[in-house]
Structure 1
Amino acid sequence: MRRESMEGSSKKTSPRNKENLFHVIHKVPAGDGPYVRAKHAQLVQKDPEAAIVLFWKAINAGDRVDSALKDMAVVMKQLDRSEEAIEAIKSFRRLCSKQAQDSLDNVLIDLYKKCGKIDEQIEMIKRKLRLIYQGEVFHGKPTKTARSHGKKFQVSVKQETSRLLGNLGWAYMQKLNYMAAEVVYQKAQMIDPDANKACNLGFCLMKQARFDEAQSVIQHVLEGRVPGSEDCKARKRAEELLQELESRQPIPDLSDALGFNLDDDFVKGLEQMINEWAPSRSKRLPIFEEISSFRDQLAC
């Protein structure tokens, strides 16, 4: 029995098992190519500069180009080299598979946000929404598998649409176009509501001096009537907005002074978006049917 136990222990600590355990712990792929060495430099050695050099080598060698380009851009962003990352994706995404393009678009959106390139961010988000409308995302499937912090989870088309609309609303807020942001956040909340977007919607209403509407939206968060209301950050922000609202001294709305209105923007109507984006074959998703009443709502 003692001998068998010792043999079992020997198997568990064999070099091969140790190597496999190392890859699992550090989330480093097996092998010895430039991409694997790049991930080792990034995750184990914590040397982002060396990782970038090796990611370049992986791309040039054709070694897991999809992952190498995306991972390199992420590391560049962490080093405040977002401009370089944008150019790298634009130059080399043609080498990547069709399946990788959606992920690269998401990385680009984050890079544009990091660089303050709001107009480019808006155009990219609109392009992704166009693809959703045309039924060309997720390869025709209702969900896709996403990964965050090493964990996999399923994302539906509905959730992805709401996420993109939320990002679009945030971008319009950065341009002080609160009217456009409000419309986008309203639609995002209709599709897949959450507390963070509700707070942003309340803020946009406040900036337009629509205090009663803003209070109603914010109260829904504080009363736990919006998904995600239990989140501490969302609740704290709602409380701060309510305090500002009660003081009736929000920051002045500058959208009129800057000439922003619905006629200037993509949000002139999401219905116009539908008319322009309608594909030759009818593949309109049900969530876009909700948007078709947008013009009627504006008229009310």
Structure 2
Amino acid sequence: MEVSSRTKEDHINISVRVPSGDGPYVKAKHIQLVEKDPEGAIVWFWKAINEGDRVESALKDMAVAMRQLDRSEEAIEAIKSFRSLCPKTSQQSIDNLLMDLYKKCGKVDAQIALLRHKLRLIYKGQVFNGKPTKTARSHGKKILVSVRQETSRILGNLGWAYMQKSNFMTAEVIYKKAQMIDPDATKANNLAVCLIKQARYTEACLVLQQVLNGEIPGSNDIRARNMAQELLMEMETLLPTSEFLPGLSGLDLDDDFVNGLETLMNVWAPSRSKRLPIFEEIENFRDQITC
């Protein structure tokens, strides 16, 4: 029995989840997913944005298509120009997409600015809406993320960005704050790298031993353990020449930012009353925090 062309097309649409309808956004998705033509899809995504057809989805999908075609710079400018047309509830996901584009382009300063912005939103209670957790997606699954986990994760990313600028002292301070909030083995290894770059081998060794001894959450991850072992072996080759190391660069600390982190740690301090909602505690310090 011969299958009609209409049935075949419907089967394709279901398989690749092309939305229904006949507007420019649906046309763009069909070109992108069925015809596998990202260049052609971008033309129709632009048309969808200009005509106000599912602007949020069109902007995000267009940026992803541009990234695949190594047009990340163009995608960044498009997001900056049209994100104001998207609802407030979508701004966090747009920031996440923008962060990926900054990484793709190697824009470290832009990453730092955006990560600081995301921290400000947490400090002001605008990310979790006064709740201790929020729903997020990880590898296609919905998970609950706490304020502590999200703050520590963003600080970890911020520490990594400063490492890319060889500003190891600032990165060290940030990683230590992140570990105080919600420790994990990956950030511990990165903290050790910051210490090694400053020729502070004894301190680095203590941190790495904590990973190898299973004293930090995530220490059972084989990649984290292998990284800790590799760093210890690297230090063995550096120790004999430590006295001949050149002067360290990139040690300028942003005092306002570090003071802001100190204030955050006061908020997390266990001695504070636990009867108040977490964001009421943060609100008391929002005017003091400058990231």
- Range into which the TM-score falls when normalised by the shorter chain: 0.7 to 0.9
Q: What corresponds to 1:283 in structure 2?
A: 280
Distance 2:211 2:264 in 1: 30
Q: What whole-Å deviation, never above 9, does each CA across 1:115-150 have from its counterpart, x for those lacking one? A: 222222111111111111011113334333333444
Residue identity matched to 1:102: Q
Q: 1:67 to 1:263 in 2, by over 3 A?
A: closer
Q: What whole-Å deviation, never above 9, does each CA across 1:165-204 have from its counterpart, x for those lacking one? A: 0111011101111111011111112222222211111101
**Aligned ranges 1:175-194 → 2 under 5 Å:** 175-194=165-184
Q: What corresponds to 2:153 in structure 1?
A: 163
Please tell me the root mean square deviation across aligned C-alpha atoms, in Å: 3.2
Q: CA deviation at 1:210?
A: 1.7
Q: Which moved more, 1:169-178 or 1:212-221?
A: 212-221
Q: What corresponds to 1:91 in structure 2?
A: 81
**Aligned ranges 1:1-300 → 2 under 5 Å:** 19=10, 25-248=15-238, 256-258=248-250, 260-263=251-254, 266-267=257-258, 270-271=261-262, 283-285=280-282
Distance 2:36 2:245 in 1: 45
Of structures 1 and 2, the one with the larger relative CO (CA 8 A, separation 6+) is 2
- Provide TM-score, normalisation by structure 2: 0.78
Distance 1:159 1:24 in 2: 37
Q: CA deviation at 1:105?
A: 1.4
- Provide TM-score, normalisation by structure 1: 0.76
Distance 2:40 2:50 in 1: 16
Q: What whole-Å deviation, never above 9, does each CA across 1:206-237 have from its counterpart, x for those lacking one? A: 11122122112222222333333333433332
Residue identity matched to 2:174: V
Residue identity matched to 1:61: E
Q: Which moved more, 1:26-35 or 1:157-166?
A: 26-35
Q: Is the 8 A contact 1:208 1:253 kept in 2?
A: no
Q: What corresponds to 1:9 in structure 2?
A: none
Q: Is the 8 A contact 2:170 2:254 kept in 1?
A: no
Q: CA deviation at 1:23?
A: 5.2
What 5-or-longer segments of structure 2 have no aligned partner?
1-5, 267-278
Q: Is the 8 A contact 1:199 1:217 kept in 2?
A: yes
What 5-or-longer segments of structure 1 have no aligned partner?
1-14, 276-281, 293-300
Q: Is the 8 A contact 1:133 1:284 kept in 2?
A: no
Percent identity of equivalent pairs? 64
Residue identity matched to 2:257: F
Q: What SS does the aligned partner of 1:146 have? A: strand
Q: Is the 8 A contact 2:177 2:265 kept in 1?
A: no
Give the count of matched residue pairs: 267
Distance 1:39 1:118 in 2: 32
Q: What SS does the aligned partner of 2:30 have? A: helix
Distance 2:199 2:216 in 1: 23
Q: What SS does the aligned partner of 1:225 have? A: coil
Q: What SS does the aligned partner of 1:138 have? A: coil
Q: CA deviation at 1:160?
A: 1.6
Q: Is the 8 A contact 2:189 2:207 kept in 1?
A: yes
Q: What SS does the aligned partner of 1:283 have? A: helix
